[in-house]
Structure 1
Amino acid sequence: MSSLAAYWKANQLRLTPWLFLAPGMFMFAVYVIIPIFQSFSISLYDWDGLGARTFIGFDNYVELTDDEAFYTSLKNNVIWLLLYLLAIPAGLFVALFLNQTVTGIRLYKSLFFFPFVISQVVVGLVFAWFYDPSYGLMNVVLGLFGVEPIAVLADERFVTYGIIAAGLWPQTAYCMILYLTGLNAVDPEQIEAGRLDNAKGWRMLWYVILPQLKPATFIAIVVTVIGALRSFDLISIMTDGGPYGTSRVLAFYMYEQAFSEYGFRMGYGAAIAVVLFLIMMIYIAYFLRRMWREETEGL
């Protein structure tokens, strides 16, 4: 028996999982890890994506500090992040409502699940029609109460909040699915023990159910934070960054600078992408550290 065959026989149980993981790890490295380092490398150059590169060091990052459009995009991303987190408690309460055995519950589940399966482009178009100041449903209803039409997507004061409201619709549905899955794993014995201890309503939810939903909550937070920070498609469909660039976020501003007719500045766009990546990593690292601490303290 060759040495390689002998080594495989002796270490088969230890090596087999790595063989199954290897294709996924390779794809993750090629399409995620390597592009991250490439983006940082490109951000150190002045480059239009076609011609020769000119190394300029950290000049792109220095320019960001004086870019008013960058600060507007960053502010909008913060607003997105704070308001997008509303999808988590909303998804929880919808899941609690749907986790019942009542007549027609399957129909209700289908209606709440529907926003998750449709494209973000469709969501953007639906809400653009909904906000239309001439014939949109929102302004038709406001007109019944004598309120003048509001051009949500053309008003600098409301445009970001209007787009976020559109994004919350499918994001709430996604969080609902996570919590419905988590509720199926809730220990019924703990529920019964809580009832014996006279835990009802909010006390039952806070002290018995929510602690068992921590894994679902963690996933919901991470996915929602990532969704808020990488928001792009709804903005592109509903406003294209307008009016006057006031609805831009970092991902959309990166696209404008790197790929649109306004820019073709690959290095500057890559610098924006690096900043966005670092912000995302800070939030995710914080939640991972917090979850790890809670898990280790519970052992």
Structure 2
Amino acid sequence: MAATTPPPARSWYKRNEIALTPWLFLLPAMLFFAVYVIIPIGQSVAISFYQWDGLGEKTFVGTANYERLLGIGDQKMDRKFEISFWNNLKWLVLYLLAVPAGLFIALFLNQTVRGIRIYKSLFFFPFVISQVVVGLVFSWFYLPREGLLNAMLAIFGAGPVNILSDPSTATYGIIAAGLWPQTAYCMILYLTGLNAVDPEQIEAARLDGAKGRKMLWYIILPQLKPATFIAFVVTIIGALRSFDLISVMTNGGPFGSTRVLSFYMFEEALSEFGFRMGYGSAIAVILFLIMLGFIAYFLYAMWREEREAR
């Protein structure tokens, strides 16, 4: 019998091709993520332990920037940081109203009614315009004399109000401006999720007599969990990094009452009155840790639910 030749030895890549191919596709995105996200985060953490104006020599101060911010030891908590932190909490709580508002608008727009495309365009419009334009529009809307808000209040006999000049109302006025495009974004997420809802489950639920609230709570909402997760994460990040609306509408005023952590970080690190890069980096690190805590919680909750469903 003729001797059979053994098959040629395959290379290491050929033996591991199935496992390596996905990583090759992910490699460019991972490199960009490392260069533009991971490395800057590490640099911010490192700079936060220094006193530095961004140009000269850095002076190592250890945790002095954090002690000054948080009032650790004999130091008193930075008043501007305290105001910014509480304003961020207001943003976080009130900004989450965009999630249920976006859900109910999406449920309305998912109906087959006459002129639904016009309604979808009107609700989608705030999402495609920039935050700067939104800030300018609402600044004009809040004008004490010429603004549309006071014109509407005058119809009901109410006196003029100056939303953005009153420290007790300015933050809420900016949050209301931010809710407009954020609600549109959540609406888009839920409209996408509603297109993926299983019609067979809805039909089976109808046959069992489910409708209205029961249909929404037990059939539709469980299938919208991925959209809800993304809506919560994006809304929380948007609330914590709110900068552009504040910069356009009040520039942190009146009397610093509308500052948030991201705006205070900019003031300390990059404004003409600051150039304290170490102190600004410490604010950025604290803001990052707050964001990371919320996102980690939602990721853990999603992972636990998927594990229990298996």
The question of a shared fold, defined as TM-score above 0.5 by the shorter chain, is answered with yes
| 2:62 equivalent among 57, 75, 85 | 57
The aligned amino acid for 1:146 is: G
| Residue aligning to 1:40 | 45
| Residue aligning to 1:176 | 187
| Residue aligning to 1:190 | 201
Q: Quick one: distance in 1 between partners of 2:273 and 2:131?
A: 25
Q: Quick one: distance in 1 between partners of 2:173 and 2:145?
A: 16
| Residue aligning to 1:244 | 255
Q: Quick one: distance in 2 between partners of 1:89 and 1:292?
A: 22
Is 1:135 the equivalent of 2:165?
no
Pairwise CA distance, 1:11: 1.4
Evaluate the alpha carbon distance shift between residue 54 and residue 182 of structure 1 in structure 2; reply closer, same or farther with a 3 A threshold: same
Evaluate the alpha carbon distance shift between residue 231 and residue 5 of structure 1 in structure 2; reply closer, same or farther with a 3 A threshold: farther
| Residue aligning to 1:95 | 106
Structure with bigger helix share is 1
Deviations 1:124-159 (A, max 9, x none): 000000000011000011111121111100001100
Structure 1's unaligned 5+ residue stretches are: none
| Residue aligning to 2:13 | 8
Where 1:39 maps in the other structure, the secondary structure is helix
TM-score (norm 2): 0.94
Where 1:121 maps in the other structure, the secondary structure is helix
Is 1:211 the equivalent of 2:222?
yes
Sequence identity percentage: 71
Pairwise CA distance, 1:228: 0.3
What are the residue-to-residue correspondences of 1:103-122 with 2, within 5 Å?
103-122=114-133
The aligned amino acid for 2:127 is: F
Of the two, which has the highest radius of gyration? Answer: 2
Evaluate the alpha carbon distance shift between residue 134 and residue 5 of structure 1 in structure 2; reply closer, same or farther with a 3 A threshold: farther
Pairwise CA distance, 1:13: 1.6
Q: Quick one: distance in 1 between partners of 2:151 and 2:99?
A: 30
Structure 2's unaligned 5+ residue stretches are: 1-7, 71-76
Q: Quick one: distance in 2 between partners of 1:135 and 1:57?
A: 52
Q: Quick one: distance in 1 between partners of 2:293 and 2:82?
A: 18
Pairwise CA distance, 1:4: 11
Aligned length: 297
Deviations 1:67-101 (A, max 9, x none): 00000000000000000000000000000000011
Q: Quick one: distance in 2 between partners of 1:24 and 1:284?
A: 21
Deviating beyond 2 angstroms after TM superposition, the runs of 4 or more aligned structure 1 residues are none
Q: Cα RMSD (Å) of the superposition?
A: 1.2
The aligned amino acid for 2:46 is: S
Pairwise CA distance, 1:5: 7.2
| 1:273 equivalent among 254, 273, 284 | 284
TM-score (norm 1): 0.98
Is 1:17 the equivalent of 2:22?
yes
